[in-house]
């Protein structure tokens, strides 16, 4: 019940295209859903995050769509660029006053020129 | 501004040897501290977390231990490394007592056990 399932495992998108990564969860107590971006050899960095009281959040080319009833959320990267090539992790946590994130298994995105 | 330092960046250790990875956070007080492990091609697994000095919680039974001798220092240790301990180890921190706060990761330490 603590798992976050992420798909696809890898993704190749042409420059200018839309990259879509999906995640699903079971624990309805999760109330914070961040996405992290990780470049090779580096630590993950927060990209964008959402709470379940909204269905969508947009920051620049990055958008999170959240479907509470389906217990799913997704990351959309519009106008994908080669510089977006990285591994993306979705995550979820419960409001316990302590940030204990459960991570998905990651999606390796390659944006071809 | 807050920064997190983690070292060493890479190390190759023989099976059965000890391990010590260190992490310090600057620019904040009483942070929550974390150790994660990332195996090749896999997600991030939470190993330990700490809400204060000498307050360590372990998430999974394993060959590793953690200590927090000072407020902003977090150490990952092993007395005898196993081949399965190889991986990318990440220290991280977050502001305490508030949910939905960002976890900030360090640059990571690559450990290869041979």
pLDDT for B61 equals: 67
Q: Do A49 and B99 touch (CB under 8 A)?
A: no
Q: Among residues A95, A90, A37, A100, which one has the least CA distance to residue A66?
A: A90
What is the residue-averaged pLDDT of chain A?
A: 92
Q: Who among B46, B90, B106 is closest to A100 (CB)? A: B46
Chain B residues inside the 8 Å CB shell of A99: 32, 94, 99-101, 103
pLDDT for B98 equals: 59
pLDDT for B97 equals: 61
Residues 6+ apart with CB under 8 A from B14: B81, B113, B114
Burial environment of residue B58 by CB neighbours within 10 A (0 to 12, 13 to 18, 19 or more): middle
pLDDT for A15 equals: 97
Q: Which helix (H) or strand (E) holds B44?
A: strand B44-52
Alpha carbon of A18: minimum distance to chain B alpha carbons (Å): 23
Provide block-wise average pLDDT over 10 residues at a time, chain B (114 residues).
92 97 93 89 86 88 90 96 94 77 90 96
Alpha carbon of A32: minimum distance to chain B alpha carbons (Å): 6
Suggest the residue from A44, A87, A104 to mutate for an interface test with chain B (most B CBs closer than 10 A): A44
pLDDT for B41 equals: 65
CATH number listed for the domain at residues A4-112:
2.60.40.10
CA distance B40 to B64: 18
* Residue A6: Cβ within 10 Å count: 23
Q: Among residues B78, B72, B34, which one has the least CA distance to residue B56?
A: B34
pLDDT tens digits, residue range A60-112? 999 999 999 999 999 999 999 999 999 999 999 886 656 678 899 999 999 99
Q: Among residues A113, A54, A45, A88, which one has the least CA distance to residue B105?
A: A45
B24-53 residues touching A, CB cutoff 8 A: 32, 41-46, 49, 51
pLDDT tens digits, residue range B48-69? 999 899 999 888 767 899 999 9
Owner of token pair 């007592």: B97
pLDDT for B100 equals: 63
- Give the helix ranges, DSSP H, for B43-104: none
**Residue ranges of the domains in chain A?**
4-112
pLDDT for A97 equals: 58
């Amino acid at each position: 019940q603590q798992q976050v399932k992420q798909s696809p495992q890898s993704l190749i998108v042409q420059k200018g295209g839309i990259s879509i990564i999906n995640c699903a969860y079971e624990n309805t107590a999760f109330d914070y859903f961040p996405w992290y971006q990780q470049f090779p050899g580096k630590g993950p960095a927060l990209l964008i995050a959402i709470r379940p009281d909204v269905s969508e959040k947009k920051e620049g080319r990055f958008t999170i769509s959240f479907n509470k009833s389906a217990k799913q959320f997704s990351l959309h990267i519009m106008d994908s660029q080669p510089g977006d090539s990285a591994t993306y992790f979705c995550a979820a946590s419960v409001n316990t006053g302590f940030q204990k994130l459960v991570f998905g298994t990651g999606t390796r995105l390659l944006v071809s020129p | 501004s807050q920064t997190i330092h983690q070292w060493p960046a890479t190390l190759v250790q023989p099976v059965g040897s000890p391990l010590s990875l260190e992490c310090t956070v600057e620019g904040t007080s009483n942070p929550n501290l974390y150790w994660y492990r990332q195996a090749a091609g896999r997600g991030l697994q939470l190993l330990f977390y700490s809400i204060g000095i000498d307050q360590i919680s372990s998430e999974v039974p394993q060959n590793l231990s953690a200590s927090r001798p000072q407020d902003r220092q977090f150490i990952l240790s092993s007395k005898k490394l196993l081949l399965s301990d190889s991986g990318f180890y990440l220290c991280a921190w977050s502001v305490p007592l508030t949910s939905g706060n960002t976890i900030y990761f360090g640059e990571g330490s690559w450990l290869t056990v041979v």
